[in-house]
Structure 1
């Protein structure tokens, strides 16, 4: 089968990147206060995806299978954003509208293009296809395929997908949030998962298989029968990565439930004598508008572009500080249509859309995400055994080391409540064992870099004490300046 027409190839290889500066123009008036007495000395320089060799960051590109977002409108923002991966949905019902006939033109305009920009697609195989009796539903929370005819057609589509895109896609996620539909039992989904996973592996033996995008955390009632069946069929090794969602108004409260889920999964994994399954946060983000405007998770609260940026930063860096890869949800506002799980605009996008799904402008969260994706790449090593000491019990802190120059970097934020529009920073004393030739304070929302006054830090041996550091309700950094990429 021919993979890509010369015309489409020319588009994907020679499309023009949006200049980085043009991708940094959020709504006016959205600012954060500079710390008092700190002198601004530089600005973080966002790095494009191709400048970053490797990282664990992914950006959401979901719902193209139902035309709720417009890839051609947002694709120019992918490279400047800096995320190395993008989550896409395969869309069986969009590919096969007539039995036995596949139209891959829409995916041919997405997967090779994202790949050419240095953003590796990982593709979710979903949803159902109603042209087949028992074929399931093509929407969030829909039923999986159940009839023999539909399952045979599903098999054929999966084979066609993997054969077509195996040169650009090395990770396949099987379904999304199956636990939303109570008819999808854990055991039944396990049978469906094994069937699909074996099809993928038969064509692409080195592919990574991702289960399961569960909506709830820890989803014990669903996960236990799913794992029981995999264990019974000696199929636990068909899960390389387990993805979960689960939205919390205060993102820092998510982790006890995540740990509960990890313990459950690893109890099966260890009993089978295999390496631990890797966990990845597969979808999370905050809205940017008032409750009356947005739909989807966290819609019961009022949000703005500032509180969205704060929330996203906290979830990303709380994941990263625990060694968990993250998919930030999502690149563009999503326009759900009637007949799906919900109707309206989900405003979790980093890009604000027009009514026709084209892009109006980047939001503040786009700029904040750039700062994280540019800074926290594979050259920054998490030191999970070297915890900073902080004077405030509600302040979260994680420590890193730059691999090339051994410079230290620490993330700090006040974690006690949902991010607010206004927040008085907590003066916090921080003690760190590390290396700071030139310590600076970094605001990850604005990207501004400040000199820390000499009377607010001292060195004793390999230990540094910083006093009265203003810690807001979103992540800031104390960093050795050499660990950062700056515009001075």
Structure 2
């Protein structure tokens, strides 16, 4: 179905966001990934290895979304159904196509392959390969993968959520990771290596065991990026544990980059979804709010983000769960084709288009607000100096109905023509002169209607 026609389904929904009684002066522009030089944003393209989503159906939405990277799963068991024979046709139809749309693939090396005894399991939370035959076959597949795609895939992630299986120990994963990482580097020396897709942000003992093995083997430099997941009903509640994890990892190697490797919210009531956060009722609106909070909560703390995920996922029997995981930005039909974009797709477009390489996070600038439950992060446009501040109420899980908090914001920055921006609808409102004042380089805004999802106060030149 044509992208523009299906987008009408979103645009016809009455504005679900905050609508201050101020003059609307425009809309945020969305941008195609090919028109964005660089950014830290990634979109999930997971489970193609098990045919739970259909890349050919969602690929036309990939460029207009604006994310610069896409996470893919390599699928050993899909590539090698007969021992020693590889079929890469399905990946050949995905990896170059994504790159042609301005979206760089980063590929996860996983899962196991049950055609080998001790070859591991080809499913979520699966066991890693353990037998001599299984590990040799794993090496052979990794070698074939990296050799084939080294010119198209700059980053390789090694396994996914290994800590979710109680049989996978941190020490065992350390040995398995080193084995795989050294093989990748022997073929593609400039590859960036990503570990580990941690399911939990609280299993610090498990992670410590992993890094102790790397330390003993003088292999700490084999981790460029540490990915973690850790779903939380209120995304803002997860950061204390994430900071503990960062502290532990940086005690081994301070150069390791942190990345949210997979996170998102469902868009349907509990009875209609599976996967993380399924115990709560969700809607397209609360999904969009949650996703915005995760993205900009990460961004304000210098954490890159992979938003989970582009398309609803249809899990089949034999995996960790069965049913439809509705965390996709695109709603699917029963045959996995795309029905239409959701509100979260539109919200993500606004973030991906705006927060590119031209916008820098100002960690040293601390906006102050008169509401204890309001988050605020400061940014600056590198070229013209225009300031931006993200704001949202963080006290609870996003709700379908929420009364915005009248908030006073004080921040140092450049605001010549300040506007208030709703990141779901993209609407920009002129902030009346009665609602802001300037003293030197410090600007104070009053009666800002802050909802339970991120909005912007920005100099219009920065947009």
TM-score by length of 2: 0.98
What is the deviation of 1:32? Answer: 2.1
Determine whether 1:156 maps to 2:145.
Answer: no
Determine whether 1:70 maps to 2:49.
Answer: no
Counterpart of 2:443 in structure 1 is 464
Counterpart of 2:327 in structure 1 is 348
Q: How does 1:399-478 map onto structure 2 within 5 Å?
A: 399-478=378-457
Quick one: distance in 1 between partners of 2:269 and 2:324? 12
Quick one: distance in 2 between partners of 1:405 and 1:18? 37
Quick one: distance in 2 between partners of 1:404 and 1:337? 49
Q: How does 1:241-280 map onto structure 2 within 5 Å?
A: 241-269=225-253, 275-280=254-259
What is the deviation of 1:266? Answer: 1.3
Counterpart of 1:109 in structure 2 is 93
What is the deviation of 1:214? Answer: 0.6
Alignment counterpart, residue 209 of structure 2, candidates 211, 225, 229: 225
Question: Does the 8 Å CA contact 2:18/2:404 hold for their aligned counterparts?
Answer: no
What is the deviation of 1:338? Answer: 0.6
What is the deviation of 1:268? Answer: 1.9
Q: Deviations over 1:115-163 (max 9, x none)?
A: 0100000000000000000001100011000111111111010011001
What is the deviation of 1:37? Answer: 2.2
What is the deviation of 1:27? Answer: 7.4
Alignment counterpart, residue 272 of structure 2, candidates 266, 269, 293: 293
Relative to structure 1, is the Cα distance of residues 333 and 19 closer, same or farther in structure 2, using a 3 angstrom cutoff? Answer: closer
Quick one: distance in 2 between partners of 1:368 and 1:184? 37
Determine whether 1:43 maps to 2:4.
Answer: no
Determine whether 1:317 maps to 2:301.
Answer: no
Quick one: distance in 2 between partners of 1:214 and 1:33? 33
Counterpart of 1:175 in structure 2 is 159
Question: Does the 8 Å CA contact 2:269/2:283 hold for their aligned counterparts?
Answer: yes
Alignment counterpart, residue 200 of structure 2, candidates 200, 205, 216: 216
Helix, strand or coil: the match of 1:97? coil
Quick one: distance in 1 between partners of 2:122 and 2:393? 41
What is the deviation of 1:219? Answer: 1.4
Question: Does the 8 Å CA contact 1:43/1:447 hold for their aligned counterparts?
Answer: yes
Determine whether 1:93 maps to 2:77.
Answer: yes
| Unmatched segments (≥5 aa) in structure 1 | 1-16, 270-274
What is the deviation of 1:22? Answer: 5.5
Question: Does the 8 Å CA contact 1:23/1:80 hold for their aligned counterparts?
Answer: no
| Unmatched segments (≥5 aa) in structure 2 | none
Alignment counterpart, residue 185 of structure 1, candidates 163, 166, 169: 169
Quick one: distance in 1 between partners of 2:429 and 2:290? 23
What is the deviation of 1:68? Answer: 0.1
Helix, strand or coil: the match of 2:272? coil
Alignment counterpart, residue 53 of structure 1, candidates 30, 34, 37: 37
What is the deviation of 1:20? Answer: 6.1
Quick one: distance in 2 between partners of 1:403 and 1:373? 17
Helix, strand or coil: the match of 2:364? coil
Quick one: distance in 1 between partners of 2:88 and 2:104? 18
Relative to structure 1, is the Cα distance of residues 413 and 233 closer, same or farther in structure 2, using a 3 angstrom cutoff? Answer: same
**Aligned residue-pair number:** 463
Relative to structure 1, is the Cα distance of residues 418 and 149 closer, same or farther in structure 2, using a 3 angstrom cutoff? Answer: same
Question: Does the 8 Å CA contact 1:231/1:268 hold for their aligned counterparts?
Answer: yes
Quick one: distance in 2 between partners of 1:38 and 1:29? 21
Determine whether 1:26 maps to 2:10.
Answer: yes
Quick one: distance in 1 between partners of 2:6 and 2:163? 40
TM-score by length of 1: 0.93
Quick one: distance in 2 between partners of 1:397 and 1:36? 19
Quick one: distance in 2 between partners of 1:29 and 1:421? 14
Quick one: distance in 2 between partners of 1:52 and 1:133? 46
Determine whether 1:283 maps to 2:267.
Answer: no
After alignment, is 87-96 or 258-267 more displaced? 258-267
Question: Does the 8 Å CA contact 2:17/2:424 hold for their aligned counterparts?
Answer: no
Helix, strand or coil: the match of 1:413? strand
Alignment counterpart, residue 190 of structure 2, candidates 206, 217, 230: 206
Question: Does the 8 Å CA contact 1:30/1:306 hold for their aligned counterparts?
Answer: no
